[in-house]
């Protein structure tokens, strides 16, 4: 059985736990998104490493949405099921290009967020949101 046999973790695609919340698109909302994600994850049987990775991913995705999209509201979704934890962050901005992994120069202050996401997530990507903006997602295994 997946997830160390913990029956509280949904095993089938039809058994999914989900939390969705919105935050204003401002820098102080990054901490709020981290706090709300950490609190929800603490209520569910998620390995400590997976929970920490998810909070890091939420932080990076929300930061990118605040800095790069021109959105006023950012939606965050945490989904637990089939042995995976999925994080989605959706902006309502006007950006026409999807987020892309890049390698920052040594003297750049930013530009490393998606490198971190790439290191801790099993998979990640982005797709256009409807009616506008982008949804960026990442998945992590529930167990270490």
* Residues of the chain above pLDDT 70, percent: 79
Q: Cβ distance 84 to 142 under 8 Å?
A: yes
Task: For 10-61, write each residue's pLDDT tens digit.
Answer: 444 557 899 999 999 999 999 999 999 999 999 998 999 999 999 999 999 9
Q: Which of 11, 137, 24, 12 is nearest to 78 (CA)?
A: 137
Helix ranges, the chain (H): 29-42, 48-68, 113-120
Residues 95, 55: Cα–Cα separation, whole Å: 24
For residues 12, 117, 40, 142, the Cα torsion angle rounded to the nearest 10 degrees is 40
On the question of pLDDT at 94 being above 70, the answer is: yes
Query: Which of these ranges, 43-57, 66-80, 109-123, has the smallest mean pLDDT?
Result: 109-123
Residue with tokens 């982008």: 134
Q: Which CATH fold topology does 17-141 show?
A: Heat Shock Protein 90 (3.30.565)
* Assigned token pair, 75: 């939606």
């Amino acid at each position: 059985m997946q997830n160390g046999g913990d029956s509280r973790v949904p095993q089938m695609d039809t058994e999914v736990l989900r939390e969705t919340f919105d935050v204003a698109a401002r820098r102080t909302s990054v901490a709020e998104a981290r706090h709300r994600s950490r609190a929800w994850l603490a209520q569910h049987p998620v390995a400590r490493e997976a929970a920490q990775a998810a909070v890091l991913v939420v932080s990076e995705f929300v930061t990118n949405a605040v800095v790069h999209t021109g959105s006023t509201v950012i939606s965050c979704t945490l989904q637990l099921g089939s042995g995976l934890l999925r994080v989605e962050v959706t902006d309502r901005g006007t950006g026409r290009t999807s987020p892309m992994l890049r390698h920052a120069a040594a003297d750049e202050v930013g530009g490393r967020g998606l490198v971190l996401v790439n290191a801790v997530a099993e998979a990640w990507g982005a797709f256009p949101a409807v009616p506008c903006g982008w949804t960026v997602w990442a998945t992590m295994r529930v167990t270490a």
